[in-house]
Amino acid sequence: MTDLARPDDDRGCLRAVLALPFGVLTLIAAYFCWTAISIRPYGSWDDDAYAGIALSCAVTIAAAGSLAALWLLPSVRRVIGWVWVAPALALGIAAAVRWGISG
């Protein structure tokens, strides 16, 4: 009988509300990480391509970082598990590696 939810428990509703920013930030991180990985400079002189890679990586890391900062709030952490944050953090790590490799 202890596993029954109280009638005033609103975790399901809060999870549904928080799914929107978590989903949007993960999609933003995924798009810009894909952009950073798919940009290929023509040579060492192609400064525009390197700037695009740096910008895409910065946006990916910013989206992943803001998602992690949102998740660190105790009220959010109580409702949303770490599984919701793991894809964005993996994308942020991939973008950081790409940014480091691109020079």
Residue 73: strand, helix, or coil: coil
Find where tokens 């590696």 sit: 97
Bigger pLDDT: 18 vs 54: 54
The model's pTM is 0.83
Higher pLDDT, 97 or 42: 97
- The dihedrals phi and psi of 2, each to the nearest 5 degrees, come to -80, -15
Q: How far apart, in whole angstroms, are the C-alpha atoms of residue 98 and residue 50? A: 11
pLDDT averaged over every residue in the chain: 87
Section 6-14 average pLDDT: 62
pLDDT computed for residue 102 by the predictor: 82
Q: What is the percent of the chain with per-residue pLDDT over 90, rounded to a whole number? A: 58
Q: Tell me: pLDDT of 103 over 80.
A: no
